[in-house]
């Protein structure tokens, strides 16, 4: 009895020891750092997920961070090798305006002007780009800016110029600015230029070397690119994108009184994001998401999958993607036969009221038609054939009747003409006999 008791106690102690070592350590998510500006957001650059928000919809002035949008529009409507002649209006700026010191009437390729705009934040380069890409129609370029902003999801913004100098009607929000930056950094040309530390302008001997004003390019690991901005009305504004282990984060801080606090907050926000989130696959091509009903099939439904994966930022603590939901939209009245890989609907990934991604749903397997359906389909084809055959027969019958009627009419006309000719001949004979 004692031996059994000792064995039981020993076994129990081993089990408890194993439980203590195998149970995952509980962890609570770390709270994000305190922000000191007017507004800030942290965005997943791949999906547009909003991972952190502080006054995200408060209207602010973007200052020179506007130039990310200018660069994106320039790439949508222009070419890097496109020559642009600088106007006097483009270089006519206040003495304290950021400038690349280009000259009126000189011609430069769009690429060089892009470097001058995004690195030292030259307002002269920005205006030259707006004028040149739109063939002198600055209003058209501004219209493109607003259209591109809306397409990026920035629906609470309005832009009036290409440089970001203060205008009461030139405004955005931290969330909108992050969405614009996401679209800009998705463009390979904008991403390359905005992520360049220094640029030597070919052929420009005076003031020809330009350095990127975003110091995080040198000081923060994984920085993809960024853009600074400042006016008296806007304060200091910073946009920065960084990527680690496949997770790209975009941090925005707006309305800071000093640059040091702005960089400190944006750095802390990026650190928090990389510490709390990782890139995780939410939708996998091999995972059945839903069953789509099939009409007249050997199976009532077909399993639906996505043809490509969808990855998003997931919390490291619980492996969940915050605030995301899926909705399925199957094709209505999907009829057999269904081929493997055929699109049978869509799946949408939402964050609140914002659509982040829409992916096709495709059939994982095929579904054949039932024999009854084949018979119905065959009967339907036969019915269509007979209907067309009846149409053709009717047309032929009508044609025959018409041809017969035409022949009768022609025959009657011919007989009538013969009668008239005979009468004339008889009359002529009678007249001839009278004269004799």
How confident is the model over 170-214, as pLDDT tens digits?
999 999 999 999 999 999 999 999 999 999 999 887 678 999 999
Dihedral sign (CA 92, 98, 104, 108): negative
- Confidence class of residue 436 from pLDDT cuts 50, 70 and 90? very low
Helix axes 123-133, 110-118, angle to 10 degrees: 140
In the structure encoding, which two tokens stand for residue 257, read together?
């009184």
The better pLDDT of the pair 6, 169 is held by 169
**Paired residues of 280 in beta bridges:** 312
pLDDT above 50 (res 303)? yes
Its sign, for the CA torsion 217, 219, 221, 226, is negative
Q: Output the 3-class SS for 383-423.
A: HHHHHHHHHHHHHHHHHHHHHHHHHHHHHHHHHHHHHHHHH
Spatial CB neighbours of 92, under 8 Å, sequence gap ≥ 6: none
Find the length of the chain: 436
How far is it, in rounded angstroms, from Cα 194 to Cα 45? 15
What is the rounded distance in angstroms from the CA atom of residue 168 to the CA atom of residue 157?
12
A 10 A CB-CB count for 15 gives 10
Q: How remote is the C-alpha of 176 from its chain's centroid?
A: 15
pTM: 0.77
The enclosing H or E element of 237 equals: strand 235-244
pLDDT in tens, 357-382: 899 999 999 988 887 655 655 544 44
Q: What is the mean pLDDT of the chain?
A: 86
Can you give the pLDDT at residue 385?
57
Of 221, 240, 128, nearest in space to 177 by CA: 240
Q: Is the pLDDT of residue 433 over 70?
A: no
Cα 161 from Cα 76, distance rounded (Å): 17
């Amino acid at each position: 009895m004692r031996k059994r008791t000792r064995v039981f106690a020993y076994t129990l102690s081993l089990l408890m020891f194993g439980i203590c070592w195998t149970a995952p350590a509980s962890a609570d998510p770390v709270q994000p750092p305190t922000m000191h500006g007017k507004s800030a957001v942290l965005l997943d650059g791949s999906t547009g997920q909003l991972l952190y928000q502080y006054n995200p919809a408060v209207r602010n002035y973007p200052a020179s961070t506007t130039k990310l949008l200018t660069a994106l529009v320039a790439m949508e409507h222009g070419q890097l090798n496109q020559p642009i002649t600088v106007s006097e209006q483009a270089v006519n700026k206040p003495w304290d305006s950021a400038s690349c010191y280009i000259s009126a009437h000189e011609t430069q390729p769009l690429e060089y002007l892009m470097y001058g705009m995004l690195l030292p934040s030259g307002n002269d380069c920005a205006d030259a780009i707006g004028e040149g890409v739109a063939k002198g129609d600055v209003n058209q370029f501004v219209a493109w800016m607003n259209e591109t902003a809306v397409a990026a999801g920035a629906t609470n913004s309005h832009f009036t110029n290409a440089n970001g100098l203060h205008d009461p009607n030139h405004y955005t929000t931290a969330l909108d600015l992050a969405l614009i930056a996401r679209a800009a950094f998705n463009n390979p040309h904008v991403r390359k230029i905005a992520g360049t530390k220094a640029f030597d302008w070919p052929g420009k001997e005076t003031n020809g070397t330009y350095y990127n004003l975003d110091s995080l390019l040198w000081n923060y690991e994984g920085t993809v690119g960024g853009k600074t901005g400042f006016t008296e009305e806007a304060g200091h504004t910073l946009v920065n994108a960084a990527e680690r282990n496949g997770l790209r984060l975009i941090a925005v801080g707006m309305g800071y009184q000093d640059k040091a606090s702005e960089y400190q907050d944006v750095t802390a926000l990026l650190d928090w994001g990389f510490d709390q989130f990782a890139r995780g696959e939410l939708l996998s091509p091999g995972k059945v998401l839903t069953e789509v009903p099939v009409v007249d099939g050997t199976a009532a439904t077909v399993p639906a999958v996505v043809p490509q994966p969808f990855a998003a930022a997931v919390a490291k603590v619980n492996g969940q993607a915050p605030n995301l939901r899926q909705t399925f939209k199957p094709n209505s009245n999907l009829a057999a036969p269904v081929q493997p890989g055929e699109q049978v609907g869509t799946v949408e990934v939402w964050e609140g009221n914002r659509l982040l991604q829409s992916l096709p749903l495709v059939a994982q397997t095929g579904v054949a038609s039932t024999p009854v359906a084949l018979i119905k389909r065959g009967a339907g084809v036969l019915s269509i054939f007979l209907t067309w055959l009846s149409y053709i027969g009717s047309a032929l019958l009508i044609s025959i009747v018409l041809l017969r009627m035409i022949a009768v009419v022609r025959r009657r006309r011919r007989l009538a003409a013969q009668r008239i000719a005979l009468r004339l001949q008889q009359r002529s004979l009678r007249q001839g006999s009278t004269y004799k």
